Amino acid sequence: MSLANTISSAVPGSPSAGIRALARFGFAAKGIVYILMGLLALLAATGQQGGKTADKEQAVQTLQALPGGQVLLGLIAFGLLGYIIWRFTQAVRDTENKGSDPKGLGRRLGYASSGLVYTGVAWFAAQLALNGSADKGGNTQQGLVAKVLNWPAGDWLIIIMGLIIIGTGLYQVYRAYSGSFSKHVNDSGLPSNQQQIVYRTGQLGYTARGIVLGIIGYFFIQAGRQHRASAVGTTDEAFDFLAAMGPMALAVVALGLMAYGIYMLVRAKYPILNGI
């Protein structure tokens, strides 16, 4: 399934159609990033790549070495921009009918936050596509955490952030086993056996995401407890944490993240997009 084919059936003819096309392109780009990230982690778990794992930016950077890598990177950057636009559309237009009470506003803020997470990856991919090189931003996250730690009650703020991230991870696992994630894919036209495969793939993928988020949240809690910004980590450090538990633990989560990427490609092909 190519990125071009993903949007071929959704030619923008109105603002809503344009947003739909961007959303589908975004799901596909996000799926490819997760497949690459999971594949690199799987190779590390099996003793290849020098045991080196990769976060989202490093996964995207692997496309640079492929034929037509600059074009691929440009497509990924554009696709992630589409994902960002869709997430902000969900937040601003309340496409999921969450409402304007505190709970609803919190959910809508979560959509916008999800979009913001990918701005750095999109910018990184765009820089690689245009310039052939990019600044990953170094220890930007650690720098921000260091500033917060110096605030009054900064330690507690970082601990609370860690608890929120862990809660988000647990929610991903809940979505996996409640089946609520499946409402975003219109697989009614698929045979029942393929529907089951899609469902199980989504379950595995959301579970793996929940595990990784839980580990990242743990890092934040440790940073707050120890008043040490260097204790925080991203997906890459979460992979290293899993690798320390044994190659099997890393391999299982890596396969799960690849499954999540595949599920995003299916979602790009058969999306249910509310409110537009």
| pLDDT tens figures, 27-74 | 999 999 999 999 999 988 888 766 567 678 878 888 888 888 889 999
Residue 13 has pLDDT above 80, yes or no: no
pLDDT band with cut points at 50, 70 and 90 for residue 132: confident
Of 174, 162, 273, 165, nearest to 228 by C-alpha is 162
Could you tell me if 16 and 43 are in contact, meaning their C-beta atoms sit under 8 angstroms apart?
no
Residue 260: per-residue pLDDT: 97
pLDDT band with cut points at 50, 70 and 90 for residue 177: very high
Residue 249: per-residue pLDDT: 94
Residue 162 has pLDDT above 80, yes or no: yes
Residue labelled with tokens 């190779």: 43
Residue labelled with tokens 């220890």: 139
Q: Render the burial of 174-199: b for 16+ CB within 10 Å, e for the rest.
A: ebbeeeebbebbebeeeeeeeeeebb
Residue 226: per-residue pLDDT: 93
Model pTM?
Answer: 0.87
pLDDT band with cut points at 50, 70 and 90 for residue 129: confident
CA 93 to the chain's CA centroid: 22
